[in-house]
Amino acid sequence: MSKKLYIINGPNLNLLGKREPEKYGNISLDKIKTLCSEKCISHNLDLNFFQSNIEGELINEIHKAIDDGNGIIINAGALTHTSIGLLDALNMFKEPKIELHITNIYSRESFRHKSYVSPVVNGIIAGFGFSSYLLAIDAIKNLIKD
């Protein structure tokens, strides 16, 4: 039986490929979803890929994962630096969690250096462009119990 992986994407990530390509690259979120799906198939993971610009919808998706998820990879976007609600929801999910960023948040503006997500995740992958997603899938596969 395959394990269920939630990849949850926050605000403005729906504009990947158009939004500041010098920082975020030219690949769309749909293309990233396809690449993630292929990687998950190779790891026998059932992928639930989600994006919203609305904080409450992201929290609801984490709540769904509490019931049937075996792992979460979260790219919370700007909410990484502001959302105690996401922190609380992620803290309730007891399976492996990885925080993901396309850019290296520590080489950017100082307000991006604080993450409310980091204290409750197993690890952080940042700065590898769209490949951050693929690296995170490899990493979480090793954390999910068989």
pLDDT of amino acid 84: 97
Mind listing the pLDDT tens digit for each residue in 129-141?
Answer: 999 999 999 999 9
Catalytic residues: 24, 101
Confidence tier at 112 by pLDDT (50, 70, 90): low
What whole-number distance in Å separates Cα of residue 2 and Cα of residue 46? 6
- How does DSSP assign 1-40, residue by residue? -PEEEEEEE-TTGGGTTTS-HHHH-S--HHHHHHHHHHHH
pLDDT interval class at 55 (50, 70, 90): very high
Backbone angles phi, psi at 85, to 5 degrees: -60, -45
Structure tokens at 130: 């769209």
Residues 68-100 have pLDDT tens digits of: 999 999 999 999 999 999 999 999 999 999 999
Q: What pLDDT score does 117 carry?
A: 95
Residue 67 has pLDDT above 90, yes or no: yes
Task: Determine the angle formed by the axes of helices 55-68 and 84-92, rounding to 10 degrees.
Answer: 10
CA 37/CA 125 separation, integer angstroms: 18
d(CA 61, CA 115): 20
Mean predicted confidence (pLDDT) in 28-56: 97
pLDDT of 111 reads: 61
Task: Delineate the domains of the chain, giving CATH numbers in brackets.
Answer: 3-143 (3.40.50.9100)
Percent over 90 (pLDDT), the chain: 80
pLDDT attached to residue 20: 75
